[in-house]
Amino acid sequence: MKKILFIFLLIFGFAFSTIDAAATPEQIKVATVDFQRILRESKLGQNYIKKARSNIEKKQSLLNKLSEQFNAKRNSFNEQKLVLEERKRDEKEEELAYKANELKRKREDFELEVRIADSRFQRDILRLLGSEVKVVAEQLGYDLVFSNEAPGLMFLNTELDITDKVLERMNK
């Protein structure tokens, strides 16, 4: 949070340093965008959530079935292990250990798949959101637009960019 505040103040410092001496801070128009609300309420976000939920429910159902099968095998083994001969008991224990690891890997793969899909979607919607924010900001005359959360600065009026002046001074 401190880092975001520092960056925010730093950007404002740069922005104010590029404005004419007669300009006042009231002339800079700043806006915010609620990224989470965009995700929840946009058609794109709602479609993704429906699709993701459906995919998650299918995979969760499959994982639940595999888990039930594993539990049934483990319970069956626990009931029989006292009467099984040692070699057979060792084989079944190895098989159960293998099945437990397989189930764990499938759960981890599923969680990774969900995280990857979410990050891809967020990257794609951020690209679209960035271009839409730029259009709206320019139409409404905003100089700076920040997201309420990450990624931070979403739009900066190019007139506030002092990169050329900084480069000029650094290259003297």
Establish whether the linkage from the previous residue to 151 is cis, with ω within 30° of 0. yes
**Residue 133 exposed, middle or buried by CB count within 10 Å (0-12, 13-18, 19+):** buried
Q: Give the whole-angstrom CA distance, residue 159 versus residue 95.
A: 68
**Angle in degrees, CA 30, 126, 154, rounded to 5:** 20
Which residues contact residue 60 at a Cβ distance below 8 angstroms, ignoring those fewer than 6 apart? 110
Q: Tokens for 87?
A: 């070699």
| Structural domain count of the chain | 1
HSE (CB half, 13 Å, CA atoms) of 15?
A: 22
Q: What is the pTM of this model?
A: 0.59
Q: pLDDT per position in the chain (172 positions), as tens?
A: 445 544 544 455 544 444 443 345 568 888 888 888 888 889 988 999 899 899 899 999 999 999 999 999 999 989 888 888 999 989 999 999 999 999 999 999 999 998 998 889 888 888 888 888 889 989 998 898 888 876 688 888 888 777 788 888 888 8
Q: Tokens for 83?
A: 């009467």
Residue 17 lies in domain: 2-170
